[in-house]
Amino acid sequence: MLPSDVKTWLDQALVEGNFSGYESLAEALKERGFDISKSAVHRYGKTFEKAMASAKAATEQAKAIAEGCPDDAGMMNEALIRTVQTKIFEVLMELEVDPSTIKLTSLGKMVSELSRASTTVKKYMAEVKTRALAAAEKVEAVVRKGGLTPDAVQTIRREILGISTPS
């Protein structure tokens, strides 16, 4: 319920103070004209700390996945969109707020934007596949004229399309 500039200050103070010093934060808020108890600041701080830890873990996991799995077919974006959709659903199911305070239009817009992003990723993946197939066919025609063996042609085609060699 704090104004955004005060909330930003509080968030920064919590992070800089390593999520401690709740009594002094409550006093600083009181000096700014907000009578908020130490307990309320502590509850908010613990919730915020948990959210930051989750975000940090998710960021580290995403970085590890990105480094370990090249995003050749846009699958990373698709997985991210699905993960966000799942998390939003989980958050909505766990919300303990007055339903009248939830802005359904905002939630609808968020779902709409995620759906649009998913569609955009799928279109992009289809375009990339089409371009890769066209490039593979052009290269195949050129290398056949050049006298390469059928095995060499297929090897080049697999490399262009990113298809692993059959075992």
In-domain check, residue 42: yes
32 burial level (CB within 10 Å; 0-12, 13-18, 19+): middle
Does residue 160 lie within any of the structural domains?
no
Rg (CA), the chain: 26
Q: What is the pLDDT of residues 83-107, one digit of tens each?
A: 776 776 666 666 665 566 666 677 6
* Residue 52 domain flag: yes
Q: pLDDT at position 37, please?
A: 93
Give pLDDT tens digits for 16-27: 999 999 999 999
Would residue 82 count as lying in a domain?
no
Total domains, the chain = 1
Rounded to two decimals, what is the model's pTM? 0.45
Q: Over the stretch 31-81, which tens digit does the pLDDT of each residue have? A: 999 999 999 999 999 988 888 888 788 777 767 766 676 655 566 666 776
Would 73 be classed as within a structural domain? no
The tokens describing 101, both together, are 């305070």
Instruction: Give the number of C-alpha atoms closer than 13 A to the C-alpha of residue 20, restricted to the C-beta side.
Output: 2
- The answer to the question of residue 17 being in a domain is yes
**Does the pLDDT at position 109 exceed 70?**
yes
Whether 167 has a pLDDT exceeding 50, the answer reads no
Residue 73 confidence (pLDDT): 52
Q: 79 in a domain, yes or no?
A: no
Asked if residue 40 is part of any domain, the answer here is yes
Per the structure, the complete domain to which residue 1 belongs is given by: 1-68
